[in-house]
Structure 1
Amino acid sequence: MKHEIVICMGSSCFARGNKKHLLMIEQYLAEHGLSDSVVLTGSRCEDQCRTGPNIRIDGQLYGEIDGERLMELLSRHLSQ
């Protein structure tokens, strides 16, 4: 099964951490050999700026992402 991660690259989310989170996701995928089973894309805006930074994993939108929460979400979604 292919997973999909969409990281919001709108100015608010980007400035509040998604620039760093993008690198963390890429590193996680490489370290766990998941690069071929995950489609990683960016979006201009998820229209949820107030709750940013936002990331969508397999269609589910998550807000207020920080590094620790991101790692937990990646582990939960991608280790299935």
Structure 2
Amino acid sequence: MITVTICVGSSCHIKGSRAVIGRFSELLRRHGVEDKVQLKGSFCMERCGEGVNWQLDDEPFTSVDEDDACRLFQEKVLAPLGVRPADGPEEADQA
């Protein structure tokens, strides 16, 4: 199982972590991988000045916004699972 942890500390919250969580939740449902990916929150990842922070298993990512979430989801979650992106407005924007 892949674990995606998104910071929900005050700095990341102000910078949009709630929208990033919403986007990841939507993408998990759309692609039917809820049983393969665990989405968790973390109160602080100690990189507060670097934007919304998240990590995929043990690999950290910084300065993620709602738009980045779609691209990173495809590259870092779907591709390793061998799942093709579903058609939708976010995926079309990435082409």
Aligned partner of 2:68 in structure 1 is 69
Q: Distance in 2 between matches of 1:9 and 1:16?
A: 10
Gap runs ≥5 in structure 2: 81-95
Aligned pairs for 1:3-22 (under 5 A) are 3-22=2-21
Moved over 2 A (4+): none
Give the total of aligned pairs: 79
SS at 2:15 equivalent: helix
Max radius of gyration: which structure? 2
TM-score w.r.t. the length of structure 1 is 0.93
SS at 1:45 equivalent: coil
SS at 1:74 equivalent: helix
Gap runs ≥5 in structure 1: none
RMSD of equivalent CA atoms: 0.9
Aligned pairs for 1:1-80 (under 5 A) are 2-79=1-78, 80=80
Query: Taking every aligned residue pair, what percent have the same amino acid on both sides?
Result: 28
Give the drift of 1:68. Answer: 2.3
Counterpart code for 1:56: Q
Counterpart code for 2:51: G
Q: Whose relative contact order is higher, 1 or 2, with alpha carbons under 8 Å and at least 6 apart?
A: 1
